[in-house]
Amino acid sequence: MKKFILFFTLFILTTLSIKAQEYYWTSYSFNVEAEDVEIVSKLTNDYFSSPNSKADGVSVYLFENHFHDSSLSSSHELVFAGTYDAMGNQYSQGENTSWDLYLAKLGQYTKGFSAAAGNSLLSFGVPGSHPVQNLLWLRVEDAAKFAAGFKKYNEKYNPDDRRVTLGQFRLGRSPLGETHYVLVGVNDFKTAMNTGLYRESNKDAKTAWGKYMEDIDGVIKLIRTSTRVMVGKW
């Protein structure tokens, strides 16, 4: 737990200038062999279903990384998300023997470990537990220009059946140099396979998207894409 407190303290110090809006998150990635997936899910559910396992206002998610390139080697992610204050409370609870025991048990069935932290910047669509999530990892050269275009397009054309978020990586960036991400949460794999299909029947959205892509040409570089599936939420 001491390592997590130190990690989040550093995160807080690097984000003091960010307004208390949207949400903050931390993510812990690891590998689970196929035969151990069920027990890892059970251990996680048992722990986070118990009282006082997380601070008020914090949500915890377990994801399976479903589609990804070979450099993204983790099979699962454990994600904590909440407001600035809620996340601060999550990492300020002191010693916790139940948490230590959960980690010890989890360590018997997981391999590898990496951690990252960041925050969302802009979100559009109805909040909810969209179980299938596409992630675009980006290197953004002009964050203000990219965010302005993202906001202009999505506040008018983002479909009601999904949640799209622009966010930034703060800590734990890979050597690939990603700075920002776009997360598109949808309800099924069919939608995830082509999240832009709705533009084919919406001429205005298609035109606006083309203009948006022209405006940000040279501003961003796509680092990687991935799709993760929610297997638990607490």
Amino acid in position 85 = D
Please, what is the average pLDDT of the chain?
A: 90
Give domain limits for the chain: 2-233
Give me the DSSP letters along 203-231.
HHHHHHHHHHHHHTTTTEEEEEEEEEEEE
Give Cβ neighbours of residue 14 (< 8 Å, ≥ 6 apart): 170, 171
Asked if the model's pLDDT at residue 13 lies above 60, the reply is no
The pLDDT value recorded for residue 63 is 97
Of the candidate CATH numbers 3.40.640.10, 3.30.70.100, 3.20.20.80, 3.60.15.10, the domain formed by 2-233 belongs to 3.30.70.100
Asked if the model's pLDDT at residue 14 lies above 60, the reply is no
Asked if the model's pLDDT at residue 8 lies above 50, the reply is no
pTM as predicted: 0.86
Q: What is the pLDDT of residues 217-232, one digit of tens each?
A: 999 999 999 999 999 9
Interaxial angle between packed helices 203-215 and 143-157, expressed in degrees from 0 to 180 and rounded to the nearest 10: 180
Amino acid in position 196 = G
Q: What is the pLDDT of residues 53-112, one digit of tens each?
A: 999 999 999 999 999 988 888 999 999 999 999 999 999 987 889 999 999 999 999 998
The pLDDT value recorded for residue 21 is 54
What average pLDDT score do residues 155-176 get? 94
Q: What is the pLDDT of residues 115-149, one digit of tens each?
A: 999 999 999 987 777 999 999 999 999 999 999 99
What average pLDDT score do residues 152-172 get? 95
Asked if the model's pLDDT at residue 166 lies above 80, the reply is yes
The pLDDT value recorded for residue 57 is 95
What average pLDDT score do residues 35-39 get? 97
Asked if the model's pLDDT at residue 1 lies above 80, the reply is no
Give Cβ neighbours of residue 146 (< 8 Å, ≥ 6 apart): 140, 166, 180, 216, 219, 220
What average pLDDT score do residues 12-34 get? 71
The pLDDT value recorded for residue 16 is 35
